[in-house]
Amino acid sequence: MEKKPELCRVEDALGILVGKWKPIILLHLLINGTMRFSELKRHMPGITQKMLTKQLRELEEEDIVQRVVYPQVPPKVEYSITEYGRSLEPILEAMHEWGSKHTAHKEEKEKRMAQKEAN
């Protein structure tokens, strides 16, 4: 662990993953490879066009995803993870694992709470 918190770069990584939909977008692209805009949207009920566009633009800006536009009507735009973006995979994996454990941890905690209240 870095001994100087001032030099901590955790926020830089965090900044890329943060955004209400970014992890799910990345997961979808990691699993399915290339996806069209509308395809992504269909897989994320609840997201608005604006949001999806914004998040994808931000990921593109950081070279995490690639955007390919086909000059057609109706428009066709495909998104995919870049090689560079794939370097995030271990982190996502670790976070998913930790998140799963944490969910279990919280459930247990709640059970203990309920137990206490019963007394």
Residue ranges binding DNA (CB under 7 A):
19-20, 36-39, 46-51, 53, 56-57, 67, 69, 73-77
Residue 56 binding target from a copy of itself, DNA, none, CB below 5 to 8 Å by type: DNA
Q: Which is nearer to a copy of itself, 68 or 91 (CB)?
A: 91
Beta bridge partners of 78: 36, 68
- Length of the chain equals 119
Supply 43's token pair. Answer: 């897989």
Burial of 13 (0-12, 13-18, 19+ CB in 10 A): exposed
Q: Please state the closest distance from residue 111 (CB atom) to DNA, in A.
A: 26
Per CB under 8 A, residues contacting a copy of itself are 1-3, 5, 8-14, 16-18, 23-24, 27-28, 30-31, 43, 62-63, 84, 87-103, 105-106, 109
Q: Please state the closest distance from residue 75 (CB atom) to DNA, in A.
A: 3
Beta bridge partners of 70: 76
DSSP tag of 7 = G
Neighbours of 79 (CB within 10 A): 23
Residue 30 binding target from DNA, a copy of itself, none, CB below 5 to 8 Å by type: a copy of itself
